[in-house]
Structure 1
């Protein structure tokens, strides 16, 4: 299990990451939770090599990515296998933010077919009141990935910035289900060939 925080100075020491790590380790899961280099700007040129060369996930690894952390998981899955990805407040566009636009994650088109093919599942959690990633962007991401989609109310950006959120039982329950039975390959969105 790999936990990846978002940008703008986020870390795995904040929000619900310590809770999730503690609960998963209590279940016997091996959890890698490290603050990535360049945590303010969250640039792909630093994050992807760190994920690939230092953390080294494989086809048995589940990645939980919050916000820009989901971007890193998706870009990794374009070229290498994972067991699955949990995208919390995930997105696939810069959502109109200069910091995101300059991150490098959006410089090339996404290879959604490879992202789906290189993992057995993709799950998404998104709040209808997210102030940074519009709900419509999350719905587009769901259509592109064929994810299992959990829409919540009142969760904002899941603990970022001024919001205090130090537990996340909905995510933990979904992780427990997936760890018990990973399930079939990620589905192909309607109208696309597998």
Structure 2
């Protein structure tokens, strides 16, 4: 059975930007079945209505690797309350509002115990220089609740409209 990876883009993004196509190609070459779905409603539609659509659209199992960037990383927290996976990598993720913007992807609270039970390995990659507040403090808040690995860089938002980030070798290396 082939291992599966699902890469969730961030708010206002799409599957063809930043490092998503590069990572998908790397994982495909390694034998993964890779999905990079387009979700224009991520962080637009309230999570209570959006989450069931995402759960229904994908298959998740103990061999699945989830990668989420920004709003897509916040989405992973809600997903992980309901599905069991091997690994989750949250890039520029957050669990509380990182700035003054509306964040409909966030839940009012999380079942941290369920999330911890449902993922074998979790990694948080955040930047001290994140312009949106998805910074090392957000990563630390999730790490303190879930354990795993926290990596702190000085690397902006790891891809943005004004930050070219076509490759992300660190994420590729972290995926077992």
Q: Taking structure 1 as the reference length, what is the TM-score of the superposition?
A: 0.82
Give 3-state SS (helix, strand or coil) of 1:122's partner: strand
Distance 1:45 1:106, change over 3 A: closer
Gaps of 5+ in 1: 179-194
Q: Taking structure 2 as the reference length, what is the TM-score of the superposition?
A: 0.90
Distance 1:68 1:40 in 2: 6
Greater strand fraction, Structure 1 or Structure 2: 2
Matches within 5 A, 1:26-65: 26-39=29-42, 41=44, 43-65=46-68
How many pairs does the alignment contain? 171
Distance 1:70 1:40 in 2: 11
Distance 1:51 1:84 in 2: 18
Show CA shifts across 1:121-170 (max 9, x none).
Answer: 101111121111132222112111102111112x1011023111100011
Displaced runs of 4 or more, over 6 A:
none
Distance 2:113 2:55 in 1: 20
Distance 1:40 1:123, change over 3 A: closer
Give 3-state SS (helix, strand or coil) of 1:171's partner: helix
Question: Which residue number in structure 1 is paired with residue 8 of structure 2?
Answer: 4
Give the greater-gyration-radius structure (CA). 1
**Alpha carbons 2:61, 2:83 under 8 Å: kept:** yes
Give 3-state SS (helix, strand or coil) of 1:85's partner: strand
Matches within 5 A, 1:24-103: 24-39=27-42, 41=44, 43-100=46-103, 103=104
**Alpha carbons 1:11, 1:39 under 8 Å: kept:** no
State the Cα RMSD in Å.
1.6
Question: Which residue number in structure 1 is paired with residue 145 of structure 2?
Answer: 144
Gaps of 5+ in 2: none
Distance 1:78 1:40 in 2: 18
**Alpha carbons 2:47, 2:107 under 8 Å: kept:** no
Distance 1:131 1:151 in 2: 14
Give 3-state SS (helix, strand or coil) of 1:97's partner: coil
